[in-house]
C-alpha cells in the first residue's frame, strides 16, 4: 500500500501545481512518454507500424508508454524497481510489457501484491477462481535483475488500449 499512498499524495500536489524547485537530485532521471501506434504504408506499399505522438487518441486506439530511467550519478543503483499503474480508462495489451533484463510482474489488487501474469487469479462474484486476464491488471512492475551502473540507462515499455 505504500506505493499507492505515494502516488495519491503526488497527484494531489501535481494538480495543485505546487512544484518544489531546487531540490537535490537523486541518482536517477525518470521519464515517461506516451505515443500511439499507427499503421503506415511505406513507398513500397508495405504496411508497418510506427510510433507517433499521442495527440489524436479515440476509444479503441492503442497507446504505448515508454519509461526510461537514467543513472545520472557516479554510483550503481541496485534493486531498481519501476512501478506503473494502468489507468482505469486503459486495458493492458497482453504480453506487451517489455523491459530488458527485468522481471515483469503484474498486480490485480491495486498494487498491493504482484506476481507474473500466469500466476495471477481473480475470484469471481460466484466464488469461482479464474486466471487473471489483461483487463484485470491494475499495475505493472519491472524489477531489474542487475544493477544499473553509473551512467547506464534502462527502459520499460507497455501497450494499452483506450476503453
Partner 1 sequence: MIEVKRGARQFVWVITTAVTLLFAQHTLAAGTLAGVTVANQAQVDYEVAAVAQELILSDPLGNSIPGAGSGADTTDFLVDNRVDFTIVEFGLIGATSVFPGQDDAVTTFQLTNTGNETQDYALAAANLGIGVIVNGNTDTVDMGGVEVYSDTDGSLDFSVADLTFVDELDPDLSILIFIVADAGLALLDLDVANVELTATTHDSGTIGTLDALTTDDSAIPDSTTTVEVVFADDGLGAVGDGIETQRDGYIVSSAALTITKTSAVLSDPFNLAVNPKAIPGAVVEYTITVQNNGAVDADQVAITDVLDASLTILLGQYAGEDVEIDLGGGTTVTTCTLDAADADGDGCGIAGATLTIDPVGGLTVGILATNNPGVIKFQATIN
State in angstroms the smallest separation of the CB of 42 from partner 1: 20
Which CB atom, from 40 or from 122, has the smaller least distance to partner 1? 122
Grid coordinates of 119: 500466476
Q: Which is nearer to partner 1, 44 or 125 (CB)?
A: 125
Q: Which is nearer to partner 1, 14 or 50 (CB)?
A: 14
**Phi/psi at 129 (nearest 5 deg)?**
-100, 140
- CA atoms within a 13 Å half-sphere pointing along the CA-CB vector of 129: 3
Cβ burial, residue 51 (10 Å; 0-12/13-18/19+): middle
Asked if 63 contacts 90 with a C-beta cutoff of 8 angstroms, the reply is yes
* Nearest distance, CB of residue 48 and partner 1, angstroms: 20
Strand-pair category, 90-92 with 153-162: antiparallel
Tell the smallest beta-carbon distance from residue 135 to partner 1 (Å): 10
Name the minimum Å distance from CB 44 to partner 1: 24
CB nearer to partner 1: give 40 or 123: 123
Q: Of 25 and 47, which CB lies nearer to partner 1 in the complex structure?
A: 25
Alpha-carbon distance of 21 to 28, in angstroms, equals: 17
Q: Take residue 84 and report the three cell numbers written for it.
A: 506503473
Indicate the length of the chain as a whole number.
Answer: 163
Residue 47: CB minimum distance to partner 1, A: 19
Amino acid at each position: 500500500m505504500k506505493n499507492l499512498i505515494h502516488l495519491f499524495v503526488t497527484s494531489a500536489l501535481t494538480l495543485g501545481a505546487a512544484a518544489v524547485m531546487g531540490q537535490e537530485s537523486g541518482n536517477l532521471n525518470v521519464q515517461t512518454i506516451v505515443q500511439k501506434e499507427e499503421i503506415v504504408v511505406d513507398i513500397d506499399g508495405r504496411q508497418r507500424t510506427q510510433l507517433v505522438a499521442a495527440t489524436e487518441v479515440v476509444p479503441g486506439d492503442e497507446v504505448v508508454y515508454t519509461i526510461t530511467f537514467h543513472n545520472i550519478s557516479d554510483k550503481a543503483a541496485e534493486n531498481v524497481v519501476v512501478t506503473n499503474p494502468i489507468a482505469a480508462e486503459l486495458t493492458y495489451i497482453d504480453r506487451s510489457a517489455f523491459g530488458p533484463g527485468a522481471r515483469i510482474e503484474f498486480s490485480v489488487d491495486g498494487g498491493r501484491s504482484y506476481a507474473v501474469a500466469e500466476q495471477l487469479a481473480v475470484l469471481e462474484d460466484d466464488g469461482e477462481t479464474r486466471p487473471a486476464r489483461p483487463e484485470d491488471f491494475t499495475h505493472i512492475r519491472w524489477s531489474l535483475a542487475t544493477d544499473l551502473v553509473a551512467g547506464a540507462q534502462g527502459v520499460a515499455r507497455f501497450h494499452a488500449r483506450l476503453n
